[in-house]
Amino acid sequence: MSLADLVTQNEVVTIKVKNKKVDVEVYPLTIGDIGLLLKDYGTQVESLFAGTTSTAALLQKAPELVAGIIAYGTRNPEEIEHAKQLSFGNQVKILKAIWALTEVEPEELGNMASHLLEGILQVAGAINTSKLAMAAEKS
C-alpha cells in the first residue's frame, strides 16, 4: 500500500451565503498546518487539543485561531481575514467538517501540542539569549 492511498481526501461542505448555497472544499489539518497554527496561536491550540475548549468557547475567545483553522483547512492560508468575516453558522459548519477529517485523538495531540509549544519557546529563548550575548560582546 502506498502512502498516497492513506491521504485523507477532501470533503465538500455546503453553506449559505446571501441566501445562495455555496460549496466549500475542506481538508484535514496536517502536522505542518498545526505547527503554523501553534506558532501563531499556541495557547489556544494547546487548550483545543487538550479538550479544554469547546467549539463555542473557541469561537468567543479565539476568533483569529478559528479563522486560521478555516483558512488552513480550506487550503487558503492567505485568507484568514476573509475567514473571520464568515457568519457564525458557516464557521461552525466548516470547522466541524475540518475537525472530522483531521481525525484528532485529543490525548495524543494535547501532548504533541504541549511539546511543540515547549520547543518553540525554547528556540525563542535561545534566539533571545544569542542576541543578548552578541549585544554584550559589542559593548
Q: Is residue 8 part of a domain?
A: yes
Model confidence over 30-58: pLDDT tens digits? 888 988 888 888 777 666 656 555 666 66
Q: Is residue 101 part of a domain?
A: yes
Q: Is residue 16 part of a domain?
A: yes
Q: Is residue 68 part of a domain?
A: yes
Q: Is residue 129 part of a domain?
A: no
Range of the domain at 102: 3-124
Q: Is residue 35 part of a domain?
A: yes
113 confidence band (pLDDT: 50, 70, 90): low
Model confidence over 83-109: pLDDT tens digits? 999 998 999 999 999 988 887 666 665
Q: Is residue 75 part of a domain?
A: yes
Q: Is residue 60 part of a domain?
A: yes
H or E stretch covering 16: strand 11-17
What is the C-alpha separation between 126 and 122, in angstroms, rounded?
6
Domain count, the chain: 1
Residues 70 and 83 sit within 8 Å (Cβ to Cβ): yes
